[in-house]
A = this chain, B = another copy of it.
């Protein structure tokens, strides 16, 4: 399962004391070979990118996209931590490189947790040294690694897909600050498909665009987002279309697990916008609707208040004509040509009480379409986010 599903990888998880709770907080995913692996990676676009993101970007370029291992920590984001933060992130890479006998630039590093707090360097130092020794020591290594990257996640997020002649698996974390252009999320995917780094890069970007980048929970883009895909190439050549399809499915599975585990959420809602002037316009409109606090509150209340959708569509910046709008909750059409139409209110009420909802706004303007996955806004989200400790 997880990052060990494909051939040729080792993993480990360890509790180093970064988390005051004493929970697992360090993870390692390494290629079980002498040479580093072909890899692709995407990083947050936040200009306040954390130290591990800066270091990983630099290493990824310097190593010409060849990666021997990824070390990840949770409980502290190592973001807004200045020169010491950069030194801490590099230290993590150096310790892993020493342990594995590879160059530091072949190591990527990810962190997730609170921003603006210096890393406890001593704990990180002894923890990472220990972590490297643990690689491959337990049959539950893959699960331990996935658990070691959790923060407010209530469960680990895993995927494993069998292709016709290759395997692809992965792990992820993320439960809030989920927004366009990558969310507060880390994901490591591993495969044994022999794919070039150029192809891997193209495939990963496409997969991320139609999975993680479709999630809008709270409109916040994190300082630490990172998605990395490594291949051991052990399964030999594969059909690239099939590889793309499997990688996209894996990312979509992880993204959906994030939505279902979003902080305080009780519903997972797919917002479809169709009939837009273009796909880009549909995307703009769907993001505005899905990201609206008022709309998210109405999902929490199981209230099919389509007027709020209309209002958000009208202020999204996308082309819009209220007189052409049709709104459907599930399979119940509630508005046509911009006004409420008679519908089975009992059936609709029943539908709104379900956990997974789908809302479709047909703008009646063209053939553009897009979807965004979001959740409801609940008191649980506020309780989770009102204090850092």
Contacts of A325 in B (CB 8 A): 80
- Asked whether, in the complex, the Cβ of B379 is within 8 Å of the Cβ of A311, the reply is no
Is the CB of A292 closer than 8 A to any CB of chain B? Answer: yes
- Residues 185-223 of chain A: 1 if any B CB is under 8 Å from the residue's CB, otherwise 0? 000000000000000000000000000000000111111
Of B85, B118, B311, which one neighbours A115 at CB under 8 angstroms? B311
Specify which chain B residues have a CB less than 8 angstroms from the CB of A335 in the assembled complex: 80, 116
Point out the residues of chain B lying under 8 angstroms from A81, CB to CB.
339
- Are A310 and B80 within 8 A (Cβ)? yes
Bound form: Cα–Cα A19–B309 in Å: 23
A250 at the interface (CB under 8 A from B): no
When the two chains form the complex, which single residue of B220, B305, B310 contacts A293, counting CB atoms closer than 8 Å? Answer: B220
C-alpha spacing A179/B338, complex, angstroms:
23
Within the complex, the shortest CB–CB distance from A361 to chain B, in Å, comes to 12
Tell whether, in the assembled complex, residue A222 and residue B311 are in contact, meaning their CB atoms are under 8 Å apart: yes
Contact check, B322 vs A48: say whether CB atoms are below 8 A apart: yes
Contact with B along A221-261 (1 / 0, CB 8 A): 11100000000000000000000000000000000000000
Q: Which of A3-11, A65-73, A134-142, A296-304 contacts B (4 or more CB under 8 A)?
A: A296-304
**Contact assessment for B311 and A218 in the assembled complex, using a CB-CB cutoff below 8 Å:** no
Instruction: List chain B residues, Cβ under 8 A from A342.
Output: none
CA distance A323 to B51 in the complex (A): 12
Bitwise, A174-185 to B at CB < 8 A (1) or not (0) is 001101010000
B293:A219 contact, CB within 8 angstroms? yes
Q: Does A331 contact B (CB under 8 A)?
A: no
Contact, CB under 8 Å: A322 / B116: no
Contact of A388 among B46, B115, B303, B314 (CB under 8 A): B303
Contact A300 B340 (CB under 8 A): no
Report the interface size class on chain A: 35 or more
**In the complex, which of the residues A181, A293, A308 has the most CB atoms of chain B within 10 Å of its own CB atom?**
A293
Interface string of A284-298 (1 = CB under 8 A from B): 000000011110011
A73 CB to closest chain B CB, in angstroms?
A: 16
The answer to whether A322 and B220 touch across the interface, beta carbons within 8 angstroms, is no
Query: Which residue of the partner chain B has the closest CB to A313?
Result: B48
Residue in A307, A313, A325, A339 with the greatest tally of chain B CB atoms within 10 Å: A307
In the complex, whether A381 has a CB less than 8 A from a CB of chain B is: yes
Name A294's contact: one of B48, B176, B308 (CB within 8 Å). B176
Contact with B along A109-152 (1 / 0, CB 8 A): 00000111110000000000000000000000000000000000
Q: Whose C-beta in chain B lies nearest to the C-beta of A184?
A: B311
Roughly how many angstroms separate A45 CA and B84 CA in the complex, as a whole number? 47
Q: Is the CB of B378 within 8 A of A382?
A: yes
Known: A218-B294, A378-B382, A386-B300. A314 touches B116 (CB 8 A): no
Q: Provided the pairs A294-B385, A298-B385, A378-B382 are in contact, do residues A315 and B221 lie with their beta carbons within 8 angstroms?
A: yes
Residues of A within 8 A of B (CB): 45-49, 77, 79-82, 84-85, 114-118, 176-177, 179, 181, 218-223, 291-294, 297-298, 300-303, 305-308, 310-315, 320-323, 325, 335, 337-340, 377-379, 381-383, 385-388
5 A-B pairs closest in CB distance: A115-B307, A48-B314, A301-B386, A116-B307, A297-B385
A-B pairs with beta carbons under 8 Å apart, 22 shown: A46-B315, A47-B314, A47-B320, A48-B313, A48-B314, A77-B307, A80-B306, A80-B310, A81-B339, A114-B305, A114-B307, A117-B340, A218-B292, A219-B219, A219-B292, A221-B311, A221-B315, A293-B377, A293-B381, A294-B385, A297-B382, A377-B382
